[in-house]
Structure formats: structure tokens, C-alpha cells
Structure 1
């Protein structure tokens, strides 16, 4: 339980101490026994994905259908708070914070690299490096960044927000399971075990992405300023970003995190406009329309495709891996969404957080990935022309990919920067350096937003759901997240903790599933008269 005095004032000492001991111990093991631990967790994660892939696929699709049902049902009228309570943040600020915490940094990294990898080959294309593989590449990329990951986030957010703001329980994962296990049992060792596990998963999820993202920032800094890509420089970047994140989280959600999220959105729109203006605009817009329609037409098949006949590793490397990765982020992003969603209805939460970010994510992928594919088509045609004119044969006549694809295969962090070079080359405008600088700056601000929002979530978890955790706790967790990322980079253990986090996705998937059953049980106990009254009030208000 949370204490009100002493050195543990405002936090739960059991959850805080045990989770930090486990985290520090795991980091030490990854550093000292990196090869052994890496082999162990790689084998474990592979076995989990192999044997439980079907569960991930069914669970993610089932959660999505459940949320769509809630949105369209009478339960959608329920306020996540007291009846009549209004939202804390405006719609624009709310959506900006949603996107920054949930998808921003990942999309910036993968919006070019992932379509390129699928363009080079995927199970849904007969031929690689073709117009057919380009279409399926966009379809698969849309699927991986579409409704399913947001559904996992929202399910966690809905459970937390409903039981905390409407039922008056602490903002913790254990509170969302009260209808299934009872409050008394969850106030004991079972609840502590759940919170400790969630704290550990969240800390490693944030730190791992933090460390991996710094690698891409290093690439941008090297291209812009010639700063060498080295462990030392990367640790300096982590230190600076951690300090900024700590200052932001100390100022609270309403100031630092909100301001940074709005800034992220503005900067994202500027970069998006730059690629649209100087890139292949017509091709991008067509790709967005056709890709969205293609996604809608194929979402059911993609959702349930399990590669039963081929049993290849492709789905383990991509779809199943993604689903597991989103699950490790669900407690962090879900709690942050819950934290900023008080006063909104279930319909607003599901509709706003599910549909708006997905459509914007599609447009982002279509813009960056579509531009990259267009340049690849041009490179392929140039190669074919060269083969005919110079009568090339043998190995010289084989097309292996254009500039962007070759750069992606060599180093995925180079994909987006190589695409900026192609924009400058084809448009004649000197925009590559400007776009690269903006993208690197956006990476930094996205990282700060993810780090400070993640730190706030860790503080909330370790203080038994307090919306205003102690400043000392915010500083301690901010330092720890940065230290984990720096330590793992130094020891070369990021890959180890990444595969270990995938192992943790299985219990996270079970928790998310239980949360769905828990909130369904609680919603059915809502007084029918109240639901009908809220629905009638909404209808009356809309006709005034």
C-alpha cells in the first residue's frame, strides 16, 4: 500500500522496490552474460511466437471487435468519470498526445523501411520488386500500423479509465480486474504481483525503444553534422534527452507533455507537407486512397491468416512479432491514454483513439512509403532501360533494388534519409538537409514525449494510481529509464531485452483479455435507467 510519510512517502514500497530490484538485476545479467541471456531469450521468444501465434491473432482481432461493439452500443454513452463531467483536454491536444505516445516515433522509423522490406518480398506476392509486391507491401504495412495495435492500447485505457474515474478506484491495472477477482484479493499479493510485472514490462519497453531510437538519431546527426556514430555519443544523447524528459514530467501532463505533443504534431505536419510538396504528390494521394480501400477489403483475411500451410518464419518476424510488441507497450500507452481521457465517453475514446490516429498513420505511411516505392519504380525502369541499351546479361542484368531498398537492406536507419536524398535528386530543390534536420529534431522530441509520458506512467504505477506522484519518484524513474537504455547500449544487450520483452507479451496478452471480460461484466451492472437517460440526453442535445 502507498505510504504517507518517510522516504517512501507517496509510493507503494513493495511494488517500487521489488520492480526496481528485478529491473536492475535483469540489466546486470544482460550486461555480464549477454551472449547466454541473448540465446536463452531468443529461443524462448521464438517458441512462444511459434506455439501461441494463434492466440495473439485471435486475441487482437477479438479485442478490436469488442471495442467496436461497445462504441456502437448503448454503453458508448457512458462517461469515463461522473455523469456530466467534461474532458480535461481539448480534442486537438488530446489527439496530439495520443499519436505522440502511441505511434509517432515508430512510424517515423518504419514508414519507409517496412514497405521497402515487404516490397523486396512477402508471402502475398508472387513476384518481388514488382508493382504487385508494392501493392501488397502497402497493404501489410497498413495492417501492422492500423486498427489492431490501437485496439490493444484502448482496451487497457478503457479498463483503467472506467474503474478509476467512474468507480473511484486507483489508476492501476489491478483495479481493472476487480470484477473478476474481487477487491480484497487484489489488495494483497496478487495485485502486487500484477503491478510489479506491469512496471517491469513498461520500464523495459520504454528503455528498449529509447535505446534503439537513439541509434537512428545517431544516423541523422552523422549525416547533418558529421558526428561519429559511437556508443559514447549515443550515451550522451540519452543523457541529454533524459534530462529534458525529467524536466517535462516534473511539470505535469497539462504543461510539459501537452506542449511537447502539440509541437510534435506541428513538426510532423511540416515534414509531411514537405514530402508531399516536393515528392511524387499524385502517386502519394493515389496510394493513400487505394491503400485504405485495400486495407478495408482485406482486413479480415489478414487478421486471421496464420500461415498454416507454409508455417514460414515471415509472420513470426512481422505480424506476430508486432502484436507481441504492441502488447508490451499496451500497459504504458493504455495508462497514458487513460490519464488524458477523463471526462470523455466510451464512444469518444474508442472512436477518437481508434479511427483518427489510424487514418493519420495511413496517410503518413502512404506519404513516406509511397514516395519511396515511386522512386523504386523509377530506379527499376532505369535499370531495365540500361539492360536493353547496353545489352547486359547474367548477373549485371539482375535487378537487386534501387537506392532506397539497398540502403534499407544495409541499415534500416538509413531508409528515410536516403528517401530525402531522392526527393532532392528528382525535384531539383535543395530539401534533403532541411528534411533530414527536421526528421532528426522530430525524433528527439518524440523520444522526449515517450520518455516523459512513460516515466509518468511508471510513477503512477509505483504510487498505487496517484494522478500526481511525488516529484522525487518522477526524477528517480526518469533517471532509471535513461540508465537502463544507456547500460544496455554499452553492454550490447538491447537485443536481449527486446526478445525478453516479447516473452513478457504472453502474460500481457492474458491480462488484456481478462480486462475485456472484466469491463464487460462491470458494464452489464450499470443501471439500465442511467444508460437510457444518458442516451436520451445525447439525442436531445443533438437536436437543440
Structure 2
């Protein structure tokens, strides 16, 4: 039977309409499209270029401060949540989703381009080498990952800690409250979808031109638009297969495989290249980057205008901003259970550190070759066509056919992972944060991104893709700044609760009645079954919570008891302007440690009746509590809640309804 699409109609159709208007320019006015897009890009950069630089600088400073501050101990999820992916798999997916195609395309091309045409230094000189590597590190360093981090951190924090839908608008809840479900929220998600589609389409354009150049180098395939359209169709088809296989299988396996191959290729260049010189160059490049990072973060060349800043730094910032909904949501989806500090440390520094090594190995080796054996020929080839730079570079190293073949495969797989994970993210945003959508729905978005890339290639090639990317990123700057402010508000409220919990340890109330020491000992030696836990929740916990709910309602504080299909039950007392009070009990399980009394019966799991709260704080097992004891524990938590919501910090956040944590 056909399963209908799961969509948020205003976002789904609004995004399609907006993207369609851009594409219509290229389709209806193909001859004028290049001029129109160029004019659009020039106008935006002239009038708003300062905003791109300022916003990125503010975001970077905020992410570094959050990482080093006391907010770093907060978790992306309930306090007792654990990561879904192993650390190596997590890092591999971060790397592949972030900028894989760009590293292959610009690893040789960008340092060589800046070496031959630096912003201020004399071309082809030692100062030009320093400037080339310094600005390359700037463009591919922690600025880009700070943009990704603010979006990803916001989504993961509110999505996993407060169970809000995993979509961009949810990150604005502390600022907009219920308005996130209205026109403002729809507009935010539309901007996110449009920016993501054009950001991925730009990466596709970069990747397809490099694949075409590689096939031309290896097999003599002509470099032409029809060939590039065919490549888009083939790789989009492969991405569709990966989409169908799912995130854990498709993207994870491809990401890990590609990272291994990329590292091997880099090590090959390091070994056969000027190894000792590269080690020295890396230290020098890192020093130059750190020395100039503050000035370059805010340097827009206001007193000595140059088109270089528009063509490079501002384009990169726009590209990263347009990619931020995609990469941010993707890394949010794979980061549940990490702490804020762990998230920011990994996202800011690990991929950027690898990128610095990559750019040094490929960039400095290319400059060394051009200064020696190539005699300037490599630089000339790159100046004529940036996409052939990597393959021309390999001709000066051993086994050029093998390395070029590997490079084409790497670009193709990065192409696939970008289209794959990008379509999943776009689908989630357009579906209102719903991640369990139909396969056909994900296939639609995967194919649609390929169609957009193809149309923009026909309309004006890579320049058209870059122009539309810059235009689509402009409105999302304001969304990113709002996400940052909202995130700080939410974390400040949670930290106030964390400090309060430190002063009064969050533990269940002492037994009021009903559990003798003999019964407690018997429970320690006999593990409750899943059926025992569900029976306890359905009878004892339900009766106690319903009794408290009736009393609260009688005293003018409306309260209800809710149950879900997973067997959880919760007492909820809604509140206006602050977080609802929630005391929930859900069936949970964890592995039993060996060599304990419980291991004698050889059960694999220990089943519990675990509490959960609207704040995401750590729960505890209440299995076996008597009814009076349960009521006493509810009152303890309610008293702490009343003290906390009177705090000015707590009043900043009114979280959405909380659901039972997964077991």
C-alpha cells in the first residue's frame, strides 16, 4: 500500500516555490542568467559583506567561550543519555559531511591560486607563500566549523534535552515560544531548506567539474556540460541507493571508508613529497594562522577595497552559512548523548586540525613543485582551470594514474555522502522535524537536489551556483544569530537548575511507608522482569500520580496524568511562561554486571521503573516504592520545581512538552 508523504505543507511548498523562482531565471532567461546572478552577488557583497564577517566573528567567539565555560558540562540529551555512535564513527561522519568535496577540489588549487595572486603580497614570492597558506587556513579552519557548531548545538540541545522536533525553528523556542509553529517558524525552516539545497548544489557543481576533469585526464572524456549532467545523474542515483539503506548503514560506512582512503592518499603525498619541509611548513602555517586570526576575522579591506575578499573570504562564509542547516542538523542527529564541551571540542578542532594537515601536505607540496621541477607550469595550469589542479599535481609524483583514479573515487564518494545526508536533512526540515519519513520522500529530495545542480550548471556553471549560494545565505545570517541568543538563554536556565541540584542532590525521597527492609533485600537479590516493571507502573505509579493530580487540580493547579504506547506514565502540571512540571515514570533497562548476586539467574538485562522530568535531569529507579512513598517523591520534586521556576534564569525558558525517554 502506498504510504503518503509526511510534510509540513507551508515549508515544503514554500521552499519549492522559492527555489523554483531562482531556477526560473536560468530556464526562462538562459542568456541573461549569468549577468543576473553576477549582479545579485555583487549587490549583496557590496552592501552586506561586512555583516557576513561580523556575524561569523561573533559566532566563533561565542562557541569558544561556551566550550571553555561551565555550560560545557551540560548534555545533549537527558543527563543519563549515552552517545549513539562510537567516537571514531562520529568523527568520520563529521568530516565527510562537512567539507570533503571542497578539500579535494581546493587542496591544491587554493594555496596555488593565492600564491600566484595573493591579497596584498607580491605574487610568487616568499611573502606570497606565507599569505597563501594563512588565508587558506582561515577559510577552512574553525570559522567554518563554528558556523556548523552553533546550528548543530542548538538543534541537538533543544531536540534531545527537551524533545522538541529536530528542525531549525526549534532552536528559537526560548525567543519565539509558540510562534515557532506559525509564519515565523515556517519562514525560518524555508530559509534553511533553500540554503541547504543551494549549498549542496554548489558542492555538487564543484565535485562534478573535478570528476569531469579527472575522467578527462584518465580516459580522455571531454570536458563539457552534457558529460557533467550525466555525472550528476549517475552520482545522484548512487546517493539514492545510500539514502534507502539508511543513515547508520549508508552514510556511516561510506564516511569511514572515504576517510581511510583520504588519509592514505595524504600520507602518500607526505612520504613522496618534501617530507621534512612539510613538517616545518605545518608549524609555520599554524603559527601564521594563529597570529593573524583576529585581524583576518574582521578584515574586510575597508580602506583598500579589493575584489579578492568578495571572491574568496565572503564567498566561503556564505557557502558555510548556506551549508550550516545541513551540516548542523546532520551532526545534531549523530551527537545525542555528548556533552556541550565534547561536542564543541570535537566539532571545532578535530576536522579543522585534519584540514590544516591536508592543506599543508597538498598546498605546500604543490608550491614546492611549482618552484622547482614544474618551473611555473603547475601554476599556469591551475590558473587556466582550477578543477584540473589536483590531477596536474599528481603528474609530478609517482604513480599518477593510480593516485588520480583514487582522487576521482574519493570525490565521487564525497559527492554521494553529501547528496545522501543532505537529502535526509532537507527531508526532516520539510517534514517538520519528523525523521521517520517514507523512502520515496527521501528519494524525492535526493533527486531534486541533483536537478537543482543541473539547472544551475546550465544557467551559468559554477559562477551561477556560487551567486545563488551567497544570496540564499543572507537571510540565514539573522537566523544563526537568533539561534545563538536562544541557545544561551536555554543553557543559562538549565545551569541555574544544575546549580540548584548540586546544593540539593537529586535523589528519590526516603521511604515514607510500605517497603520493609526484608522486601528491599528480596528486590536486591531478585531482578524484576519487564512484566513486573510494567505492572508496577500501570498500577502503583498510576494510582499515586492520579491521586496527586486530583489534589493539585482541587487546589487550583490543573494537572493531568498521561500515558503513552511505550508504557510510560507522567503527571503534568502546565505552567504559563515557564517549563511545565513533569514527573514521569518509564520502563527502562540496562545490562547487569557479571559476578553479582543477580548474575546467578543469568538475566541479560536489569529492568527498572525510571523517573524522568521536563528538564532532562537524570532519573532514578523507583521500582518497588509503595504508594505513599511515590507521592512523597513527587512532592519533593514539585517543591524543587517551584523553587527553580521562581528564579529569573528559569523564567527565560518555556520548554515544549516532554515525552518519555527512550529505553
Tell me the TM-score normalised to structure 1 length.
0.89
CA displacement at 1:182 relative to structure 2: 1.6
Higher relative contact order (CA 8 A, sep 6+): 1
1:89-488 to 2 correspondences below 5 Å: 89-125=85-121, 127-183=122-178, 185-379=179-373, 402-424=376-398, 431-488=399-456
RMSD: 2.0
Distance, in Å, in 2 between the alignment partners of 1:22 and 1:303 is 32
Distance 1:157 1:534, change over 3 A: farther
Distance, in Å, in 2 between the alignment partners of 1:244 and 1:331 is 23
CA displacement at 1:167 relative to structure 2: 1.1
Unaligned runs of 5+ in 2: 506-663
Distance, in Å, in 2 between the alignment partners of 1:294 and 1:36 is 43
3-state SS of paired residue (2:395) = helix
1:15-54 to 2 correspondences below 5 Å: 15-54=11-50
Distance, in Å, in 1 between the alignment partners of 2:189 and 2:387 is 35
Distance, in Å, in 1 between the alignment partners of 2:100 and 2:334 is 17
Deviation per CA, 1:266-288: give whole Å up to 9, x if none: 11011111111211111211111
Q: Which structure shows the higher strand fraction?
A: 2
Matched, 1:62 2:30: no
CA displacement at 1:14 relative to structure 2: 2.6
CA displacement at 1:447 relative to structure 2: 0.3
Distance, in Å, in 1 between the alignment partners of 2:276 and 2:27 is 50
CA displacement at 1:35 relative to structure 2: 3.6
Distance, in Å, in 1 between the alignment partners of 2:360 and 2:113 is 15
Asked if the contact 1:77–1:531 (Cα under 8 Å) also holds between the matched residues in 2, the reply is no
Distance 1:500 1:529, change over 3 A: closer
Distance, in Å, in 2 between the alignment partners of 1:14 and 1:274 is 50
Asked if the contact 1:31–1:493 (Cα under 8 Å) also holds between the matched residues in 2, the reply is no
- Partner residue in 2 for 1:83: 79
Distance, in Å, in 1 between the alignment partners of 2:457 and 2:297 is 35
Residue range with higher mean Cα deviation, 40-49 or 300-309: 40-49
Asked if the contact 1:78–1:531 (Cα under 8 Å) also holds between the matched residues in 2, the reply is no
Q: Which structure shows the higher helix fraction?
A: 1
2:483 to 512, 515, 518: 515
Distance, in Å, in 1 between the alignment partners of 2:84 and 2:355 is 25
CA displacement at 1:529 relative to structure 2: 4.6
3-state SS of paired residue (1:84) = coil
Asked if the contact 1:104–1:446 (Cα under 8 Å) also holds between the matched residues in 2, the reply is yes
Distance, in Å, in 2 between the alignment partners of 1:497 and 1:273 is 33
How many matched pairs? 505
